[in-house]
Amino acid sequence: MDIVSPQNTRVKEWAQLLEKKHRTRQHKYIIEGIHLVQEALRAGADLECIVYDGEQGVPVELAGLENPLKRVEWVSVSPAVIAKCTDTMTPQPIFAIVRKSKESLQSLIAEPQGLVVVLDGVQDPGNVGTIIRSADAAGAAGVVLGAGCADVYNPKTIRSTMGSLFHLPIVEGELQSLLPEAKAAGVRLVSTSLQAAYSCYSYDFTQPVWLVIGNEGKGISDTTAQLVDDAITIPMQGQAESLNAAMAATILLFEAMRQRMV
């Protein structure tokens, strides 16, 4: 077994990645569990190392998945080390350290007929992760996270993506500078509003569209609202006052996908 003690210097550095300030300083993050490590390997993510419970051995699900072009260190550790470095109550016997990648806004703008989700102050990690997963499922070109959003590298956010984090570009930045750049390139910015006159089912999603999803309680900020081109509504027949951010984003994404598949 390579590392037994939770007090090992390297283990302490891994455990620090459970906190945002250390993820920012180290430019790395931690993923937990067989499924996420599988998805990271399949997607060719920039893995620094894969850490597994030496008492159980390497999970059979990961056999043959290592990319020969990207050397990844495999480290055998004790169950105590696994427990120290994971966020869940009943940790799975494996986690990995991933180096952050820097995605370019230009890659999203250049996407022909691009469909992008923009998050403006979406604070719930589960919502952020679910929206990333829905964007992946609907074939979106990427996701943009503005200031005030839950950290995409938060363990709860990562778990909610179910691996979609590795399947599409995720750009972080200030919306007040990013969105005008997208508009200048011909992108239409669309948001939802209960007062909007147009239904999402009559809107033309076949053009380059960026869907702007706002904070769970307040919606999009006033400064972002001034940049939006079109407001649409999601028709509802029941008595629910509104939908949460992830549900609304998913409905719009799949309506856009439906239109683009016709």
Q: Across all residues in the chain, what is the average pLDDT?
A: 92
Bigger pLDDT: 127 vs 68: 127
Indicate whether 82 and 61 sit together in one domain.
yes
Indicate whether 216 and 247 sit together in one domain.
yes
> What CA–CA distance (Å, rounded) separates 151 from 122?
10
Indicate whether 34 and 116 sit together in one domain.
no
Indicate whether 114 and 135 sit together in one domain.
yes
Closest CA to 161 of 19, 28, 23, 36: 36
pLDDT tens for each residue of 138-187: 999 999 999 899 999 999 999 999 999 999 999 999 999 999 999 999 99
Cα–Cα distances in Å, from 61 out to 66, 94, 111? 11, 11, 34
CB atoms within 10 A of CB 70: 11
Q: How far is CA 261 from the centre of its chain?
A: 24
Question: Domain boundary at 46, 66, 99, which?
Answer: 99
CB 216 within 8 A of CB 127: yes
Cα–Cα distances in Å, from 38 out to 54, 64, 79, 172, 233? 18, 10, 20, 25, 38
Q: Where in the sequence is the domain holding 198, given as residue range(s)? A: 105-261
Indicate whether 238 and 145 sit together in one domain.
yes
Q: What percent of the chain is modeled with pLDDT above 70?
A: 98
Question: Domain boundary at 65, 99, 133, which?
Answer: 99
Please, where are the H alpha helices in 45-93? 79-85
Indicate whether 219 and 237 sit together in one domain.
yes
Question: Domain boundary at 62, 77, 99, which?
Answer: 99
With a cut of 90, say whether residue 193 has pLDDT above it: no
CB 72 within 8 A of CB 99: no
Indicate whether 167 and 196 sit together in one domain.
yes
Which H or E run contains 77? strand 73-77
CB 32 within 8 A of CB 155: yes
Indicate whether 54 and 117 sit together in one domain.
no
User: Which CATH number belongs to the domain containing residue 86 in this structure?
Assistant: 3.30.1330.30
Which tokens sit at 113?
A: 């007929």
CB 183 within 8 A of CB 189: yes
Indicate whether 55 and 81 sit together in one domain.
yes
With a cut of 60, say whether residue 68 has pLDDT above it: no
Indicate whether 94 and 121 sit together in one domain.
no
For the residues 230-250, what does the mean pLDDT come to? 92
CB 257 within 8 A of CB 209: no
Which tokens sit at 132?
A: 């990333």
For the residues 179-205, what does the mean pLDDT come to? 92
Domain count, the chain: 2
For the residues 22-43, what does the mean pLDDT come to? 95
User: Which CATH number belongs to the domain containing residue 239 in this structure?
Assistant: 3.40.1280.10
Indicate whether 80 and 131 sit together in one domain.
no
Q: What is the pLDDT of residue 11?
A: 96
Indicate whether 24 and 144 sit together in one domain.
no
> What CA–CA distance (Å, rounded) separates 240 from 233?
14
Output the CA torsion sign for 19, 123, 135, 246. positive
Q: What is the pLDDT of residue 67?
A: 60
